[in-house]
Structures are given as structure tokens and as C-alpha cells.
């Protein structure tokens, strides 16, 4: 069975673990974190990884998976941007509002208020405290027909 997951690289040793624990606190789900200290040394690595650095993490959420790892030493990634977002589609407006509020309470900021959308339903965006933009969508009964 094919699956699709989003993978995010966070800067700093252990930053992925911190981010994914934050997401688990907001959404729930099953978190798995594998550090370089948990795996045997890998031949051919272009660097010696910090044993506390996250090699791979996954958070299984209702409806999808988020995956990630700590960025390679010397590499810099711009996480905060509006060119991408994590789109979480839900069935309940209040559930979406609750997730958005948890993100704001956890240090995030609203990018677009969660309000009725021109295409029906509700839509809004929030940046979490790590700079990742989350879009929340709750479809309406008045969705455009093709």
C-alpha cells in the first residue's frame, strides 16, 4: 500500500524531538523517535552525527503521518514560509478551532483567521512556534461542483 507523508528537517540537535512532542501534545497520535545514538554507526556518512541528533521521527495522526529529522550539520533550512503548509482537513469546526488555539497557546501565531471560506466550509492558517504553517480546512455542504 502506498502512503504519502510530509518530512521536515529542523535545525539543531534534538529540535525534531521537541517539535514532534509538541505536535503530539496538540493532536495526540503515536510518536516514534530514533536518534543516531540508537542505530549502529553507518559507513560512508559524510559527517559524524551527534548521538542525540534525531535520525528519523514519525508521528502517526488520525488521517496521516508527519515525519522528520534534525538537519545535517552545516546545513541551514528556512522553515517559516508561506510557500508550503501542512493541510489538516477535519470534519468538525470546533475541533479545528481547538487545534489552532493549542498551537497559538503553545507559541504559534495566526496567519489567516479560521473563518467561513468563499468555497464553503471553514479555512484558516497558523504558524506553529517552529515556523511551520498549518492550514486547517473543514469542508462545507456548499462546496463547488465540477
Mean pLDDT across the chain, nearest whole number?
A: 88
Q: How many domains does the chain have?
A: 2
> pTM for this one?
0.84
Q: Tell me, what CATH number does 114's domain have?
A: 3.10.180.10
Q: What is the pLDDT of residues 48-96, one digit of tens each?
A: 888 999 999 999 998 889 999 998 877 777 777 777 889 999 999 999 9
Quickly count: other Cβ atoms within 10 Å of residue 55's Cβ: 17
Tell me 46's DSSP state: S
Q: What is the pLDDT of residues 95-139, one digit of tens each?
A: 999 999 999 999 999 999 999 998 889 999 999 999 999 999 998
14 and 55 assigned to the same domain: yes
For residues 41 and 98, the answer to whether their CB atoms sit within 8 Å is no
- Between the alpha carbon of residue 13 and those of residues 8, 38, 78, 112, 114, the distances in Å are 14, 14, 16, 31, 33
Within a domain: 40: yes
Query: Is the pLDDT reported for residue 141 higher than 70?
Result: no
Distance from C-alpha of 29 to C-alpha of 76, rounded to nearest angstrom: 29
Amino acid at each position: 500500500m502506498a502512503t504519502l507523508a510530509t518530512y521536515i528537517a529542523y535545525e539543531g540537535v534534538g529540535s525534531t524531538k521537541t517539535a514532534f512532542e509538541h505536535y503530539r501534545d496538540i493532536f495526540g497520535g503515536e510518536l516514534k523517535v530514533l536518534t543516531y545514538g540508537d542505530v549502529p554507526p553507518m559507513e560512508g556518512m559524510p559527517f559524524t552525527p551527534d548521538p542525540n541528533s534525531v535520525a528519523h521521527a514519525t508521528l502517526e495522526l488520525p488521517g496521516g503521518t508527519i515525519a522528520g529529522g534534525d538537519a545535517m550539520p552545516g546545513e541551514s533550512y528556512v522553515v517559516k514560509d508561506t510557500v508550503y503548509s501542512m493541510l489538516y482537513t477535519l470534519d468538525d469546526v470546533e475541533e479545528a478551532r481547538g487545534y489552532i488555539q493549542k498551537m497559538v497557546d503553545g507559541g504559534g501565531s495566526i496567519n489567516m483567521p479560521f473563518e467561513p471560506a468563499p468555497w464553503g466550509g471553514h479555512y484558516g492558517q497558523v504558524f506553529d512556534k517552529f515556523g511551520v504553517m498549518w492550514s486547517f480546512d473543514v469542508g462545507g455542504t456548499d462546496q463547488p461542483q465540477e
